[in-house]
Amino acid sequence: MSTRSSTGTSTSTTSWVAGATGSAHDVDNLPYAAATWPGSATPRLVTRIGDHAVDLAAAGAGTRWADLLAAPGLDPLLAAGPEAWAGVRGWLTDLLTDEQAARDVVLLPVDDLVLHLPFTVGDFVDFYASEHHATNVGRIFRPDGDALLPNWRHLPVGYHGRSGSVVVSGTPVRRPCGQRKAPDEPLPSYGPSARLDIEAELGFVVGRGVPLGERVPTSGFADHVFGVVGVNDWSARDVQAWEYVPLGPHLGKSFATTVAGWVTPLAALEPARVPLPGQDPAVLPYLTESADWGLDVEIEVELAGEVVSRPPYRLMYWSPAQMLAHLTVNGASLRPGDLFASGTVSGPERDQRGSLLELSWGGREPFTAGGRERTFLEDGDEVVLRYSAPGAFGRIALGEVRGTILPALP
């Protein structure tokens, strides 16, 4: 294969790891996770190549990044900044394409890994950046008003979520209880949510922070964002609909947010960068993009063993660079481990909707999954979000986001 240019000194792009070349986990991917495996006591940082993982504490001993890679998660590497991110990625690429290194690197079967939350989640902010999703929700919740509120095309609308309930893929999600009131009921009641939902999103993991009082321009996106994770922003629609006026989502969202165990470095998504579909009216100068940060990431939503939707991230109205610029334009600080998510990804077609609220049009138009008519989540349902994107040598897979619904506490 051709000579590699920017990521390292290796002259080969072919990995010596059997099965990696041409797979969705080739050397153009190299995501990071915090994992334990049989015989390991505490989480260690790993990368994935083919169907194997590399223990980075062991492989990185003696390198200039040894301290960063010996940590139980990504926190020190996030804080180290973009020079270190590129350095580690270049070193890893060389290691996994250099035949001479093969005898020194221990490969772990990826199926033996238990993944843990890969970084300490700081602040969590969730945006609402899909025009199709926001329009659908507006039509469902406000059938007599404008689908989009007046601010929507002028700023990326968002809210602060709860970082303490961000959990890693595979963690069961207990059906929340809360206060809800249907429009035709005179008074609210308390009990298990009857309209439990998913939101298929993409999340952005902040690496290098900025002090209070400073801003990140759209051109600073790649200096401050380390990578991406799939996100399922579980939502109790009945709780949400009653509580959200006038200050926004609260307990209807804060019971659980699931993120992928694998963090895909932004560098792996370089071939997935695309222009935004178009913004009209023109945005204010601080939101003007200096480079394309639309991302051609495709998502699959699986419910009860059946793919029910394929939301296209490339159609998102606001870019993550604009989200970050907006997030900091008031001088709010950024810290390594801060997480911001895109909001539900929905496309114009019915089978591109990223929530069951939209797929069932507020519960009024059931859809089929697992051979049955469905609206909202049932106890025992398993939801899997899968993500893929163009990589340098073919399509790459991002980490999946998996969760099963447990019954509400009595």
Chain positions contacting Ca ion, by CB under 5 A: 126, 199, 233
* 277, 284, 322 from 280: Cα distances, Å: 10, 11, 15
Q: Which is nearer to Ca ion, 69 or 196 (CB)?
A: 196
Cis peptide before 246 (omega within 30 of 0): yes
Whether the CB-CB separation of 49 and 68 falls below 8 Å is answered with no
Placement of tokens 């801003």 in the chain: 215
Q: Which is nearer to Ca ion, 225 or 345 (CB)?
A: 345
The number of CA neighbours under 13 Å toward the Cβ of 340 is: 29
- Burial class of residue 183 in the structure, from the number of CB atoms within 10 Å of its CB (0-12 exposed, 13-18 middle, 19+ buried): exposed
Among 25, 52, 132, 133, the active-site one is: 133
Give residues with Cβ within 8 angstroms of 300, minimum separation 6: 307, 309, 310, 384, 385, 386, 387
Q: Which is nearer to Ca ion, 110 or 323 (CB)?
A: 323
DSSP 8-state code for residue 284: P
The number of CA neighbours under 13 Å toward the Cβ of 113 is: 26
Q: Which residue is nearest to Ca ion (CB)?
A: 233
User: What sections of 178-316 are H helices per DSSP?
Assistant: 221-224, 237-243
Q: Which is nearer to Ca ion, 59 or 383 (CB)?
A: 383
Q: Which is nearer to Ca ion, 227 or 249 (CB)?
A: 249
The beta strand positions in 113-269, using DSSP E, are 114-116, 124-127, 158-160, 166-168, 173-174, 177-180, 189-192, 196-197, 200-206, 225-232, 235-236, 257-259, 264-265
The beta strand positions in 298-376, using DSSP E, are 298-303, 306-309, 339-341, 367-369, 372-374
Q: Is 160 a catalytic residue?
A: no
The beta strand positions in 343-392, using DSSP E, are 367-369, 372-374, 382-391
Q: Report the SS3 class of residue 43.
A: coil
Cα separation, 56 vs 27, in Å, equals 15
Q: Which is nearer to Ca ion, 97 or 258 (CB)?
A: 258
Residue 160 C-beta: closest distance to Ca ion, Å: 12
Strand-pairing partners, residue 265, are: 227
Cα separation, 287 vs 284, in Å, equals 6
Residues that are catalytic: 133
